Amino acid sequence: MIRVAVLSGKGGTGKTVVAVALATLMGPSLILADCDVDASNLELLLNPRCMRVEEFRGGQIARIDPDLCVGCGACADACRFGAILPQEPAYGVVPHRCEGCGVCTQVCPALAVALEPRVTGEIRVSATRYGTLVHARLLPGCGNSGLLVHEVKRIALQEGKDCRYLLMDGPPGTGCPVISTLAGADMVVLVTEPSISALHDLRRVVMVARGGGRRLSAVINRWDLDPKQSGDVGKYCREEGIPVLGRIPFDFTVMESVRRGEPVTLWQSPASEEMGRIWRGLSAQLADSDATDVPR
C-alpha cells in the first residue's frame, strides 16, 4: 500500500479541496483517512454514508465513589483545576474541568477516588463513491488528538488492507497530529498559497516532513492572485529540491463546488483541469518511488 499525506502547514490553503480532488482521480483501490480530527471536514465534500461508529477513549477522568467518600474535602483542596465540588451525598467531579492528573487519588484517605477511561471522541467508518472513509470527531476541549490520528490510520489500514492507496488529509500546523499523520507516509503533498504567511508555514512543515524516506512535492493554490509571491514559493521549492506538481488558478468554480458539497473534479473548469495534471505528475512520482517496493 502506498501512503500519501496531504498537508499544508497553514490552514485555509485549500488542502482538503486538493485531497478530495485526488481521491476522485486515484481509482477504486483507495482508502481515505481524515486525520484532521480537531476539525474533520473531508466528509463535507464526499457525502459519506456512515457504516459504524466507535468510541475513542484518549484520557482519564476521576470518579468518586459516594459509598466510600467520607466528605473530608481533601480531594477538593488538592485539585488545582476546581474539578471537585461538594455535592449530595458526597463530593463529585465536574467532568469538563477534570484533567485526569490523579492527584485526588493520592490524597483521599478513604480510597474513594479512582481514575477511569474517558470518552474524548468517536471514530466513524463511512462509505463514499470513491472508497471507504475513516474519520473522527474529537470532543471540544479534549486532548490526545495525535493518539486519535493514530487510531484513525490504524482502522484505515485494517479496512483497506487490499487497497493500493491510502490517502490522508492531514491537519494544518506542525504539531503532534501532523507528526502522527506523517508516520509511515511514503509521499507528502504540500498545499500552499502565494502569501508570506503560507511560505513561512511551508518552511516549517517541510522541516517536520523531511526524513523517514518520504518524498515531498508541492501544489501552489490560487497562484495567480499574487504571481510574484508564487514565484518566491516556487524558488523556495527549487532550492529545497521539492517538485511543484501544479499551480491551481483562482477559480470561482471551486467555491461553487464547495458550496454544493462536491469535488471540483466533477466540474469542467481551469482548476479541475489542473487537478488532473497534478494527479498525473503525482502518479508518475509514485510509480518511480522506491517506497512502492517497501512491503507494508
Report pTM: 0.88
Domains, the chain: 2-47+129-293 (3.40.50.300), 58-119 (3.30.70.20)
Q: Which helix (H) or strand (E) holds 101?
A: none
Alpha helices in the chain, H assignment, sequence order: 15-25, 74-78, 103-107, 145-159, 176-182, 196-209, 227-240, 252-260, 270-288
User: Is residue 128 predicted with pLDDT exceeding 90?
Assistant: yes
What pLDDT is attached to residue 142? 80
Spatial CA neighbour of 14 closest among 219, 199, 283: 219
> DSSP label at 164?
S
**Cα angle vertex 81, ends 80, 83, to 5°?**
115
* Per-residue pLDDT band at 58 (split at 50, 70, 90): confident
Q: How far apart are CA 8 and CA 226, in angstroms?
A: 18
| Mean model confidence pLDDT for the chain | 93
* Per-residue pLDDT band at 289 (split at 50, 70, 90): low
pLDDT one-digit tens code per residue, 223-275? 999 999 999 999 999 999 999 999 999 999 999 999 999 999 999 999 999 99
Q: Which helix (H) or strand (E) holds 33?
A: strand 30-34
pLDDT one-digit tens code per residue, 151-161? 999 999 999 99
Residue 190's SS3 state is strand
Kindly report the number of other CB atoms within 10 A of residue 27's CB atom: 13
- Kindly report the length of the chain: 296
